[in-house]
Structure 1
Amino acid sequence: MSVSFPRRALALAAVSAFAPLTAHAEDITVFAAASMTNALAEIEEKFEAETGHSLAISLAGSSALARQIQQGAPADIFISANPGWMDTLEEEGLVEPGTRFDLLNNSIVLIAAGDADAVEITPDLDLAGLLDGGRLAMALVDAVPAGIYGKASLETLGLWDDVEAQVAQADNVRAALALVATGEAPYGIVYATDAAAEAGVTVVGTFPADSHPAIVYPAADLAGRDVPAETEFLEYLKGAEARAAFERQGFVVVAD
């Protein structure tokens, strides 16, 4: 025996079935370090499909993003490649209290254009000789985290003074990576995750972890607009699917 339902009832049932997905959908603006480009592209697609929310992700050097936030940029979430910039925003009351957590760890590596022999990165490395008059591509060494870490490591190893004049500074780590990938600079210092994302470069050495501060990526909800979707996204970053995306790009996930 078949049972028929009024057409209006069927229409209402269909609307009700989809209401939980769309009724509370939100637009979320995420400011994130440029080194997270590949991982966040994957996470964005899956998060939007699963939740119905829409992500607008702005990627740049952490310093540039932090300054935009200070100037009132309408960001909801900030993921920095350096705790210092998050500290600054927190001190200025621009971070929602209790939402900050450490999300990722990374490492920095020496890369070369095309194929190149591996080297051991120690105080005995003749980095200037390796450059042979060419440039060493780095993100801004006094502002962008990747550049700050790279300079700190070179100073610790006693190599900075020998190569300072040959450093080509880029606005962010992906721009430094591009300088090497295109052959404009024979060598560069970038995150291991950036090197993994570019087939045109070779990792020739990893900088000792004790030669620079620990590379930590904190994430937080920014003060101001407060919607449940912001918390939902931060929790998603700690989940299994986001963890897998980060690990595929070479990050170490530290968030529980």
Structure 2
Amino acid sequence: MKKQLVLAVWMAAWVSTAHAGTVKIYAAASLTNAVTDIATIYQAQHSSTKIIPVFGASSALARQVEAGAASDLFFSADQDWMDYLVQKQQVSSSSVRPLLLNQLVVISPKALNIPFRADPGFNFPAAFKGHLCTGQMESVPVGKYARQSLIKLNWLDSLQRRIVGTEDVRSALAFVERGECQVGIVYKTDALISQKVRIIGTFPENSHRPILYPLALTRQGEKNAEAVQFAKFLTDSGQARAVFKKYGFGVQS
């Protein structure tokens, strides 16, 4: 009788697990707070679905997806890395949905008072000492946008040896929070969540490519009904849109 009871409990647990859907979303580091909140809301409404977010630089995540990492959704901080996965046939172009917009800002520790003016005539490299932190400029989206703006304003050459390239935008934010970099270039949404930094300026939109966040199902995700449903919640639900707006993202209609 005892063995039968144990077996029955085990079978019930197995059946429950078998029916529980899992959705793995690979999302840009700047989406950490928003996607975590949205996943919590969604799981409260769909108790049989478990959302597993993986956050990091879009570049690193895209390469993991390409290498075969189990993933259902890819939420990138730029179009380039989404296009990369389309070219690698890991994402169908018909699945891609441009969803969010962001802004590129300059930050410093709150205790500092560093001047900033987005004007080629302003000597920004002389306005602060030490290093400038942002994402790695050859691959991490925020670093790519930062590079475009610094070139546009004729500041890149003067700052070249003072730039610290980080693995993602949250790492750049952390460096500035700790005072290890006097200046950082991050997204507005990241700056807004920190109590330790101040926004000292915003780069003009025409100084860099549009900061666009596309979302797509991966080839694996297209076969996962729960992933399809969660993707629809992210793109179409008023609850998800409200969370994105709360964190400062622009939401595409």
- TM-score, structure 2 length as denominator? 0.89
Q: Quick one: structure 1 residues 97 and 138, their matched pair in 2 at CA, closer, same or farther if it must change by over 3 Å?
A: closer
Amino acid at match of 2:215: A
The CA RMSD over aligned residues, in Å, is 1.6
When Rg is computed on C-alpha atoms for both structures, the one with the higher figure is: 1
Are the equivalent residues in 2 in contact too, given 1:118–1:203 (CA < 8 A)?
Answer: no
Q: Which residue of 1 aligns with 2:239?
A: 241
C-alpha distance in 2 between matches for 1:73 and 1:201: 35
Residues 48-76 of structure 1, C-alpha deviations (whole Å, 9 max, x = no match): 11112111100000000001011100011
Are the equivalent residues in 2 in contact too, given 1:25–1:51 (CA < 8 A)?
Answer: no
1:127 aligns with 2:124: yes
Structure 1 residue 92 displacement after superposition: 1.4
C-alpha distance in 1 between matches for 2:165 and 2:133: 6
Unaligned residue ranges in structure 2 (runs of 5+): 1-15
C-alpha distance in 1 between matches for 2:18 and 2:41: 19
Unaligned residue ranges in structure 1 (runs of 5+): 1-20
1:113 aligns with 2:112: no
1:195 aligns with 2:194: no
Structure 1 moving runs of 4+ over 4 Å: 21-24
Report the count of equivalent residues. Answer: 234
1:1-256 correspondence to structure 2 within 5 Å: 25-52=20-47, 53-115=49-111, 116=113, 119-132=116-129, 134-225=130-221, 226-238=223-235, 239-254=237-252, 256=253
C-alpha distance in 2 between matches for 1:45 and 1:244: 14
- Helix, strand or coil for the counterpart of 2:220? coil
Structure 1 residue 41 displacement after superposition: 1.4
Residues 74-102 of structure 1, C-alpha deviations (whole Å, 9 max, x = no match): 01100000101110110111114521100
Amino acid at match of 2:105: V
C-alpha distance in 2 between matches for 1:97 and 1:172: 25
Residues 147-186 of structure 1, C-alpha deviations (whole Å, 9 max, x = no match): 0000100001111111111001110000000000011111
C-alpha distance in 1 between matches for 2:31 and 2:38: 10
Structure 1 residue 22 displacement after superposition: 9.2
C-alpha distance in 2 between matches for 1:131 and 1:24: 57
Q: Quick one: structure 1 residues 111 and 97, their matched pair in 2 at CA, closer, same or farther if it must change by over 3 Å?
A: closer
Aligned-pair identity in percent equals 35
